[in-house]
Structure 1
Amino acid sequence: MQDARSLLQNVFGYPAFRGEQEQIVDHVASGGHALVLMPTGGGKSLCYQIPAMLRPGVGIVVSPLIALMQDQVSTLVELGVAAACLNSATLPEDVRDIERQARAGTLDMLYVAPERLLTPRFQSFLSQLDIALFAIDEAHCVSHWGHDFRPEYQQLGQLAEQFPTIPRIALTATADAQTQADILHFLHLGEARVFLSSFDRPNLFYQVVEKHNAKKQLLTFIQSEYPGVSGIVYCLSRKRVEDTAAWLSENGIRALPYHAGLSHEVREANQREFLREDGIVMVATVAFGMGIDKPDVRFVAHIDMPKSPENFYQESGRAGRDGLPAASWLCYGLNDMVQLNQMIQGSEMAELQKQVELTKLDAMLAFCETAGCRRQQILAHFGEASGACGHCDNCQHPPATYDATVVVQKLLSCIYRVGQRHGAGHVVDVLLGRSNQSVTSFGHDTLSTFGVGRELNQRGWRSVVRQLVARKLIEVDIVRGQSLVLTDACRPVLRGEEKVYLRPVADETKTRAGGERWLRTEREERLWQTLRRWRKQVADEHNVPAYAVFSDRTLRQLIEDKPGSRKELARIYGLGELKLARYGEALLRLLREAQDEA
C-alpha cells in the first residue's frame, strides 16, 4: 500500500486515507470486486482512481452524466493524471485520439456513459484494450427502488461475463437495503466485498422551518447565514424555480434557474457558470441532480419537501463536499405533502411501487416533524443507529413539547363536525370563528366548534394539523379535495383515554447554521478574496472549474497556517507535487504580499 499512499500524497495532495478508503483501494488493486456505499463527500472517487493508476491498463469508469464525467476528467488532468471521457459532446477527431491513447496504454482512466458502453462498437473497442478495472459510479441507478433509475444500468451485469477476471467496483452514496440487493443482483456482484461506511455527514447542519412565506424565508436565510457563497435551492415545480431565481436576483443574489423545460443550451450554460464561478446560487428542480461535484457548495435549501429521505439525503449531501461546515435548510408545509401524494397517486407506476413511494413520503414527513435529533432520524432510515448529534436545529434548541390534548380534541371534533369533507384552511377558519363566505355557506358558523380555537393563530393550528398527519391521527384525502379525515387512531384521544404532546410553532430565528464565520480579521478577509480571484484567473486560463485548481479547504488552510516556504506548502491539504511545482511560487508570493500589507 506504500505506492497507494504515495499517489494519495504526491498526486492528490491528501495526507492520509479516510475511513475504509485504504482497505477498498487495497482490495480492488489486488483484483477484488467491491460494492462501496459511502456518503457524498466521503471520497468515493479515490476508491477506483488510485487502483486504476496502480493496475496495468486503463480504468473504465461508467458515469451517468456528461457534466459529471467532464468535471472529474478536468480535475484529474489538472492533477497530472491521464484521463479522458467519451460522450455525445466529444468531437470525432477527439474520439479517435482518445481511442488511440487507450489502445497504446497511455490513459489511466476513461469515463463513458452506460449507453455508449453497451453499444457493439464500444464493446469491440473494449476487446482491444488492456483494462485495469471497471468502476460503476452512481450504482443506485440500477434499481427501480432507488431515486434515479436508469434502465441501461441493469445491463451492465454483462461485464461480469465478458470480462470475468477484471475487477469491478460499484459505488453510490444512497442505497437502502432493497437498492443494495438490486446492485449486487443486476451487476452480478454476488461475490463482491461490501464496504458500508457510515451515512453520517457530521459537517452538515440540518434545519427545518415551517413554511409561511417561502421566498422571503429563503432570502432571509441566505442574507443572514450565507451571503456571497455558492448554494443550491431545490423547488418542486419549474414555475417555482423561475419565480424563486427571479426573486433572489431582484434582491441582489446571483441566482440562476435550472429545470428540464429550459433549452439544453441554457441548462449547459447555467450549470457551467455555477460550477466555475464563486458565489452563485442555482435554483433547480431535481433535474439538477446526480454528479454535482462542486465541493464548495455551502448550503442546500429545499423550499418544498423532498419526496423521500433518499432524495433529501442525496440532494442535501451536495453541500459541504469539502468537509467544511455547510447547511441543509428545509422549508415545508402541509401542501407540499399533499402535492407529492397527488403526484404519486396520479402516476403510472405499479401499485406496489406507489405504496413504497408513499411509505417513503411518510418517512420524510416524520423527519420534518420530529422533535428529536434530525441526524438520528435520517440515519435511522438507512438502518444506522446513532446518538443525538448536537449539531441540528432540534439539538441546539430542543422543542419544548406541551400537553396539547385539549387543542387536539378541538381540531378532531371540528373535522368531524364539518363532515370530514373540507381542507385544513376551512377547518382552521371554523376554529378561529371566521365568518367568511366558505364557512357561512355551509352553515358551519353555527357549529359548536365555531370559534373555540382562538388560543392559537392560523400558523399554530396548521402546525397542529401537520403534526397530527405525521402521527397518523388524521389523513388528507386527496380524492375529496384534500379533505382532512379522522383515522381510527384518534378515537382514544377523543375519548380522553390518551394524551397528546406536541411542539409549539418554532422560532426559526433562534437557530443559526454558522455560515462563513471562520475569517477573524480584515487581513484574512482580504487574503481570502485575493486567493479566490487568483484561483478564478488560473481556472479560466486552464478552462477548468475553480475547485479543480484548489478547493476552498486548501485556501482556508493557506490562510490559517500561513506557510512561508515550499516545505511548509507541501503540508497543505490538496497540494500534490504537480500543483506545488506549478503554483507554489505564486502562492508564496501572494501570502508574502498579504503579510507585508498587514
Structure 2
Amino acid sequence: MSPETLLKTELWGDFILSSEVYRERVCLIAIDEAHVLESWGDTFRPTFARLGELRSHFPDVPYLLLTGTCTPQVLQHMTAKIHLPRLKLFTASPDRPEIYLEYKRSKDIFGEVGWLFNEIKTKGIRTRKTLIYVRSLSRGGNLYRDILGYLRQHAYLEEQRGFHNSHIALYHAGMTDKDLDYILKEFTKPESVIRLVICTIAFGLGINIPDIEVVIHWGACDSIMDYWQEVGRAGRDGRKAKALYYVTPGSLLQASDNMKELCKMMDKSQVKCFRESVLKHFIGHSSAPLAPECHSQCAECECLRCRCCNLCSATCPCHTQ
C-alpha cells in the first residue's frame, strides 16, 4: 500500500494499531523505490518522511529497502529517516548497457529530433515509442502545442482529429484520472495509437511499459538521480534503446549541484565517457574498461564503444577514419 493509505487514513489508527494480528504477525516491512524517501519525503509526498514512525510500533520487524538507484547521500538520508542500526547492504550495478546515451546543448527540438517527427509522418503507429521529458507543465504544454502544429494532420490516426486518435499525448499530474488512465492503457499496447508522450516527472513510479525505445530529455534534469531513473523507462524488455539528453538554455538554473557540475564538465570536454560520468555517482557501480579497439570496420558498428555513448562512439575507428 502507499504511505498515504497506511498513515493518513483510519486504517492506521483504528485498525492496524489496535489489531493483535498486525502487532504480533507482521514479519517484514518492505519499502520499494526507497530513494524517494530523500527526493520526495520533505516536499512532494511528505508522508514518506513519516515511515520511520513504523520503527516504534514494530521495533523487532526487519526492513527491506529496495531501489534501482542509490547514491551515498541518499543511503545516509534513508537510513537516518528509518533508523537502521544493523543495515546490511546488497548492491548491483545500476547500469543499463542496452541503452545508448547522448548528451548535447541545444535550443531547437525540431532540428535535433526532426527524425522522430518525420517517422510519425511516414510510419504512424509503427513509430518507435518515445518519451519526451520536460521539467515543468508549462514547457510541456508549449512543446505539445508546437509539435501538434508542426505535424498537423499527421499527428492523428487517418486524419481523424481528436484526443483518442492522436499519436501525441501530454501527461502530467494536473490531468484528470480518466485521461491519465487512458494514456497509460493505450500506450501500454504494442500497437498503441499513441507513439509519443510528452511528460513531466509524473510519468514515473509504478509505470512499466516494456517497449519504449527512445527517451528524450528536453531541458536539464533536476538531479543525476532523476535523470537515471527516467532513462530507465527505455528498453525494459531488453531491446536496444536510446536516451538523448538535451540541455536547453536556462534549464540548469534549478538543477542540483551534481547535475550542474556534470554538465559543466561535459561542456568543457573534461569527460571521456558520459555513461561513466553518470554511473560513478551510484552505489554498486564499478568501472569496466571498454573494448580497446573495434574489428568490424563498418559504418553500422555495434562494438561496445559505439553502443555506450556519443563520446565513446566518436573514438571508435569506424568513425574516426
Q: TM-score range by the shorter chain?
A: 0.7 to 0.9
Equivalent residue number for residue 398 of structure 1:
315
| Letter of the structure 1 residue corresponding to residue 170 of structure 2 | P
Query: In structure 2, which of residues 42, 47, 51 is the aligned counterpart of residue 152 of structure 1?
Result: 47
Q: Is the Cα contact below 8 Å between 1:209 and 1:332 reproduced in 2?
A: yes
Does 2:81 align with 1:190?
Answer: no
Distance 1:263 1:179, change over 3 A: same
Equivalent residue number for residue 161 of structure 2:
none
Distance 1:364 1:196, change over 3 A: farther
Q: Is the Cα contact below 8 Å between 2:215 and 2:233 reproduced in 1?
A: yes
Deviation of the 1:120 alpha carbon:
6.4
**Percent of aligned positions that are identical:** 27
Equivalent residue number for residue 380 of structure 1:
280
Deviation of the 1:221 alpha carbon:
4.2
Distance 1:308 1:365, change over 3 A: farther
Equivalent residue number for residue 167 of structure 1:
62
Q: Is the Cα contact below 8 Å between 1:141 and 1:149 reproduced in 2?
A: no
Task: State the alpha-carbon separation in 2 of the partners of residues 314 and 240 from structure 1.
Answer: 20
Equivalent residue number for residue 340 of structure 1:
252
Deviation of the 1:330 alpha carbon:
1.6
Task: State the alpha-carbon separation in 1 of the partners of residues 43 and 315 from structure 2.
Answer: 35
What is the Cα-based RMSD across aligned positions, in Å?
3.2
Query: In structure 1, which of residues 238, 250, 255 is the aligned counterpart of residue 168 of structure 2?
Result: 255
Does 2:181 align with 1:268?
Answer: yes
Task: Output one character per residue of 1:27-73: Cα deviation in whole Å (capped at 9) or x when no partner.
Answer: xxxxxxxxxxxxxxxxxxxxxxxxxxxxxxxxxxxxxxxxxxxxxxx
Distance 1:182 1:212, change over 3 A: closer
Q: Is the Cα contact below 8 Å between 1:142 and 1:149 reproduced in 2?
A: no
Q: Is the Cα contact below 8 Å between 1:135 and 1:169 reproduced in 2?
A: yes
TM-score between the two structures when normalised by the length of structure 2: 0.73
The 3-state SS of whatever aligns with 1:340 is: coil
Give unmatched runs, 5+ long, in structure 2.
157-166, 291-303
| Letter of the structure 2 residue corresponding to residue 296 of structure 1 | D
Distance 1:144 1:309, change over 3 A: closer
The 3-state SS of whatever aligns with 2:113 is: helix
The within-5 A match list for 1:67-82 is: none
| Letter of the structure 1 residue corresponding to residue 15 of structure 2 | F
The within-5 A match list for 1:561-576 is: none
Q: Which has the higher contact order (CA 8 A, sep 6+)?
A: 2
| Letter of the structure 2 residue corresponding to residue 117 of structure 1 | L
Query: In structure 2, which of residues 217, 222, 236 is the aligned counterpart of residue 321 of structure 1?
Result: 236
Equivalent residue number for residue 244 of structure 1:
143
The 3-state SS of whatever aligns with 2:61 is: coil
| Letter of the structure 2 residue corresponding to residue 398 of structure 1 | T
Equivalent residue number for residue 35 of structure 2:
140
Aligned residues: 274
The 3-state SS of whatever aligns with 1:155 is: helix
Task: Output one character per residue of 1:109-145: Cα deviation in whole Å (capped at 9) or x when no partner.
Answer: xxx1101211463234333344342211121121259
Q: Which moved more, 1:278-287 or 1:189-198?
A: 278-287
Task: State the alpha-carbon separation in 2 of the partners of residues 369 and 315 from structure 1.
Answer: 25
The within-5 A match list for 1:339-488 is: 339-341=251-253, 343=254, 357-367=256-266, 370=269, 371-382=271-282, 384-386=285-287, 387-388=289-290, 390=305, 391-398=308-315
Q: Is the Cα contact below 8 Å between 1:142 and 1:150 reproduced in 2?
A: no
| Letter of the structure 2 residue corresponding to residue 255 of structure 1 | I
| Letter of the structure 1 residue corresponding to residue 183 of structure 2 | N
Task: State the alpha-carbon separation in 2 of the partners of residues 207 and 310 from structure 1.
Answer: 17
Task: Output one character per residue of 1:390-433: Cα deviation in whole Å (capped at 9) or x when no partner.
Answer: 12221111399xxxxxxxxxxxxxxxxxxxxxxxxxxxxxxxxx
| Letter of the structure 2 residue corresponding to residue 324 of structure 1 | R
Q: Is the Cα contact below 8 Å between 1:140 and 1:146 reproduced in 2?
A: no
Distance 1:146 1:164, change over 3 A: closer
| Letter of the structure 2 residue corresponding to residue 262 of structure 1 | M
The 3-state SS of whatever aligns with 2:181 is: helix
Q: Is the Cα contact below 8 Å between 1:147 and 1:310 reproduced in 2?
A: no
Equivalent residue number for residue 199 of structure 2:
284
Deviation of the 1:262 alpha carbon:
3.3
Structure 1 ranges of 4+ moved more than 6 A = 145-148
Q: Which moved more, 1:310-319 or 1:385-394?
A: 385-394
Give unmatched runs, 5+ long, in structure 1.
1-111, 345-356, 401-509, 511-598
Task: State the alpha-carbon separation in 2 of the partners of residues 195 and 393 from structure 1.
Answer: 31
Equivalent residue number for residue 233 of structure 1:
132
The 3-state SS of whatever aligns with 1:381 is: coil
